């Protein structure tokens, strides 16, 4: 379970980085060049989008990287990452895989008790 949490978490972070690049870039583009009526308008909370664009993929990668050593903390980080991506970007065609992968990896991290390693977290 720890291996699956690690792989899914890192993949979620990498795909989440792509979503984050576009989210952060869109907010920065509209700030720089202004809105285009009917085509490109600023989001209602640009600070949230920019913060989640950085933190959510970072938490997924960190959670995936530490899934072997500290599965409980990794699981919590991965679930926070999935919740952050969902809250900031919603569930859509580009966000469904990073949200689902981070969520499943978080559950696997929390469930990785005794079978994988002699030192369990609960």
In a domain, 120, yes or no: no
Q: What is the pLDDT of residue 116?
A: 53
Q: If you write DSSP's letter for every residue of 30-91 in order, what string do you get? A: HHHH--BTTTB---S-HHHHHHHHHHHHHHHHHHHHTTTT-HHHHHHHHHHHHHHHHHHH-S
Kind and range of the H or E element at 21? helix 2-33
Q: What is the pLDDT of residue 121?
A: 60
| Cut 0.85: pTM above it | yes
- Whole-number Å distance between alpha carbons of 75 and 109: 4
**What's the pLDDT score for residue 60?**
97
Domain containing residue 96 = 2-33+43-111
Q: Is the pLDDT of residue 14 over 60?
A: yes
Domain count across the chain: 1
| Collapsed DSSP state (helix, strand, coil) of residue 114 | coil
Kindly report, residue by residue over 28-60, the tens digit of the pLDDT: 999 998 888 888 888 889 999 999 999 999 999
């Amino acid at each position: 379970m720890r291996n699956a949490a690690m792989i899914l978490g890192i993949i979620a972070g990498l795909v989440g980085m792509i979503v984050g690049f576009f989210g952060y870039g869109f907010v920065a583009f509209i700030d720089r060049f202004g809105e285009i009526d009917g085509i490109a308008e600023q989001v209602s909370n640009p600070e949230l989008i920019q913060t989640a664009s950085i933190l959510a993929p970072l938490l997924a990668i960190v959670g995936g990287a530490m899934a072997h050593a500290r599965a409980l903390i990794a699981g919590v980080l991965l679930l926070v990452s999935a919740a952050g991506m969902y809250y900031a970007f919603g569930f859509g065609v580009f966000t469904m895989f990073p949200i689902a992968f981070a969520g499943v990896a978080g559950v696997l991290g929390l469930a990785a008790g005794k079978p994988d390693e002699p030192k369990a977290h609960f």
